[in-house]
Structure 1
Amino acid sequence: MSQPELVEDLFNCPPAYNVVLACLSPADIIRLGKTCRLLRDAVASFQSLAYNINRHLEHFVSDPLALRKLQVKYKFLISGSNALQFLDRTFYYGSDLDIFVYPENVKELGSHLIDHEGYIFQHSEKQEPKYEDVAITPRNLSVLHRTASQGEFVYNSQLSDLLKFKNKKRDLEIQLISCRRSPLDCILYFHSTPVVNFITADMAYSLYPKATFDKRIALQFGYEWHEATGKAYKKYAERGWEFFSKLTWDKAKEIQPCTIPDTIRYLDDEHTWRVPLDTAGLDLYPSAKKSDSKGKSYSFSYFNGYSSTMTVGIGYEVYHSKSMEETYVFAERNFCDAANQLVDYLEEYDPSRKKGLK
């Protein structure tokens, strides 16, 4: 049998090519799928199995579809190491499920975990023992200009409340992170690039896939001498990512294709890796059939200061209007100005919008 025939037989047999593809990295699988139609179809078939979001969430909840229906309703994001594990097709023993949610939806989501999924609220020293008595800090939009750089980064400053839930029967934990401004703001303000990934109701995103899944390098937005930040860097270094505590100009130039500096980024641009998810059983509104990525942007920049080493950061503006349910993230202030003009037009066309959200 000739080599082309062998390849054709291999990639026409799902049990065979699934074994082969399972040994490859996400980046290598994408490259393989670009070679020919046969391998493209094999990769698509493999990814439908490898990126089964319901099976992934079944580790934490008995009814993943019910949780995802709440995600459609409340627009929360799943992120942290859980999204990284999903995209990397791996498993970190003892890791939890981090859900980033708007403050006004935290209590309803927590009640679902308690009433339907067998979780118990684990209060902190500063929280009320009874879940129904816990007060959730409302959104704080006093600071709208954001830069996640070493000069300004403060660990966990993007969240306002953290609620932990333990499973009654298994050693599992779900954390609800109440976001000070928005879920995406929390994620863009993470400590380093390997965890800048998230899962929506219909799509999984990696904002720096080449650095994270191909080169296995990590750009840090904080200083390792900060205790919590340093622990995070050590943990992900042990998991295989290379950190640069001192980023020189030469190194920055070398890794530039992985970071896409000084470029306005969008969630649907060519540099973002998007994995479509099965939406069967989800009541997505017609306008939400695809993830709302057009209205969210940011930029990655180098800051050299007066030394031979550099720091990096993600910069953006947080935008919110009482006429809009969500809080948006824009790369530049003029995007916010354009949004204000749109809101003014919509309010003039439909005066009921001026009343804002109930």
Structure 2
Amino acid sequence: MSQVPVKHTNRRQPRLAHECAVGELFGRAPIYDAIFSCISPHTLVRIGRCCRAAYAASKDFSHRAYNIHRHLSRYLSEPLNFRSLQARTGTLIAGSNALQFLDRTFYPKSDMDLYVHPGHVREVLDYLVEREGYRFKPDSTQPQDYREIVSDEWDGTQIRDETPEDDELLLYYQIRGVESVLTIEKRGPDGLLKIQIIACETSPFDAIINFHSTCVMNFIAFDAAYSLYPVATFEKRDTLSVWRARPLHDLTVVIKYGERGFAWISTLPAGTSPQNSAFYPFTDRTVGDRYTWKLPLDTRGVALRPQINPSSSIFQCDPVIYNGWALERVQHGMGTVYKTIKSSVFRYNYTTTNYKLNFKIWLFAIEQGFLSRILLDNNLLDKKSWPWCVDTIVAYAL
């Protein structure tokens, strides 16, 4: 009895064809560049998880799309040296420049804003003027020489009292926590280049978290770029207004960011919870938490901050990560709330929402500062050897 021949079906054929198609798609940079350039950062990550080819393609695209040196080269001839300056001073790039970098876009006629810690403003200005060829452009209230405004001497051992909010200053600069704004300019290949150095009263983060709305709460440190509200900003294209004590609302900001593709939200409706909002309201936040988009940057060649003195700790990363805040209802809108940690025991100032641990740090700072000041007053300690405490103590309070 003859057997009926069995027909063998190649079940792998459709799969192999699919893999070949994927390989063709994600194996050629011109093709996947055109696709990836049109999608959001979150979608880019999700596609990269599909298969090995997609992962390799997304990594290659991201490496080129988020090239920090290429981004900075529009304003700076030596991006690597500038990033070393950032590492040394804790200077942050914020505002629309950071938004453009993370959004992979370009706003014509935009400038670059640098937010600088107290005690580092002169160093940053000198670098940009002497190394990068910028010139100081004073406003009507400023002298011609920025050295008359910013001293090269800063005494971090002085007691740091809480500074009452200056309504006139807030109205002028439109950002809480800003001490002064200094503008420098130079001619570039494509026209005039402008950098604004924002001298902060307490810290760059304190100023950034009080921006007009959430879509510009992004910043670039020497080692990473951060977005505090990435889903709302890059996925939903929404920006939430942050309340500030000003008599008039600046409609030019609303119009400008509307033209850039963002829908302006004045406040959150009643009943909004952290679970149903991309703004994560009523939640204690910290920089780098699970709601933050942190984009690590290549730090090869960046000169890290040297130890201030033998009694002080070494900063391994930018101190911005030791800050916390929350988005709460303030007056008739939403606002960022936090408590400021200000003490001469720490080199920098910080923010936190943990009031209990903040009080413990305050007690520690009083005792440590009192001891150091006694040694200083009795000539048993000089200011150059002032023992800055380990700033990572602050991280425990967040």
TM-score range, shorter chain: 0.7 to 0.9
Matching residue's letter, 1:189: N
Name the CA distance, whole Å, in 1 between partners of 2:274 and 2:386. 52
1:157 paired residue number: 176
User: Partners in 1 of 2:246 and 2:285 — Cα distance?
Assistant: 30
Aligned position for 1:263: 283
**Residues 80 and 302 in structure 2, CA contact (< 8 A), matched pair in contact too:** yes
How far is 1:341 from its partner?
Answer: 5.5
**Number of corresponding residues:** 345
Q: For residues 24-63 of structure 1, what are the structure 2 equivalents within 5 Å?
A: 24-63=39-78
Residue in structure 1 matched with residue 196 of structure 2 by the alignment: 175
Counterpart contact for 1:141–1:181, Cα < 8 Å? no
Specify the alignment match of 1:2 in structure 2: 17
Q: Which residue of 2 aligns with 1:73?
A: 88
TM-score (norm 1): 0.85
Change (3 A) 1:302 1:106: same
**C-alpha distance in 2, partners of 1:196/1:106?**
21
Q: 1:291 Cα deviation (Å)?
A: 4.1
Q: 1:177 to 1:293 in 2, by over 3 A?
A: closer
Cα distance in 1, alignment partners of residues 222 and 26 from structure 2: 31
- Alpha carbons of 1:41 and 1:348: their partners in 2 closer, same or farther (altered >3 Å)? farther
2:289 is the alignment partner of 1:274: no
Distance in structure 1 (CA, Å) of the matches to 2:163 and 2:147:
31
Q: C-alpha displacement at 1:226, in angstroms?
A: 5.5
Separation in structure 1 between the aligned mates of residue 326 and residue 91 of structure 2, nearest angstrom: 23
Q: Which amino acid aligns with 1:298?
A: W
Aligned-pair CA distance for 1:234: 1.5
Match of 1:232 among 229, 237, 253: 253
After alignment, is 210-219 or 326-335 more displaced?
326-335
Checking the alignment, whether the CA contact within 8 Å between 1:267 and 1:296 is kept in structure 2 is yes
Question: Could you tell me which amino acid in structure 2 is paired with residue 282 of structure 1?
Answer: V
Aligned counterparts of 1:288 and 1:257: Cα–Cα separation in 2: 35
CA contact (8 A) 2:121 2:150 kept: no
Residue 26 of structure 2 corresponds to residue 11 of structure 1: yes
Shift of 1:228: 6.4
Residues 145 and 33 (structure 1 numbering): CA distance in 2 closer, same or farther, change over 3 Å? farther
1:129-173 Cα shifts (integer Å, max 9, x gaps): 123322469899544799xxxxx9x92232111000010454110
The structure-2 alpha-carbon separation of the partners of 1:64 and 1:44, relative to structure 1 and needing over 3 Å to count, comes to same
Residue of 112, 128, 133 corresponding to 1:97: 112
Gaps of 5+ in 1: 147-151
Cα gap change, 1:164 to 1:275, in 2 (>3 Å): same
**Counterpart among 326, 335, 339 of residue 317 in structure 1:** 339
Q: Distance in 2 between matches of 1:14 and 1:168?
A: 35
What are the Cα deviations for residues 75-116 of structure 1, in whole angstroms up to 9, with x where unaligned?
111000000000000000000000000232112211211112
- Tell me, in whole angstroms, the C-alpha distance in 1 between the residues paired with 2:358 and 2:138: 38
- Quote the offset at 1:3 in angstroms: 2.9
Q: CA RMSD in A?
A: 3.3
Contact 1:322 1:356 in 2 (8 A): no
Match of 2:4 in 1: none
Query: Does the Cα contact within 8 Å between 1:268 and 1:293 map onto a contact in 2?
Result: no
The one-letter amino acid paired with 1:229 is D
**1:94 partner SS:** coil
Percent of aligned pairs sharing the same letter: 32
The residue identity in structure 1 corresponding to 2:146 is Y
SS class of match (2:180):
strand
Q: In the TM superposition, what whole-angstrom CA distance separates every residue of 1:1-24 from its partner, at most 9, and x where no partner exists?
A: 823321123223334322321121
Compared CA separation, residues 141 and 29, structure 1 to 2 (3 A): farther
Alpha-carbon distance change, 106 to 74 in structure 1, aligned in 2, over 3 angstroms: same
How far the C-alpha of 1:188 sits from its partner, in A, is 0.4
* The structure with more radius of gyration: 2
> What SS does the aligned partner of 2:278 have?
helix
TM-score, normalising length from structure 2? 0.77
CA contact (8 A) 1:118 1:168 kept: no
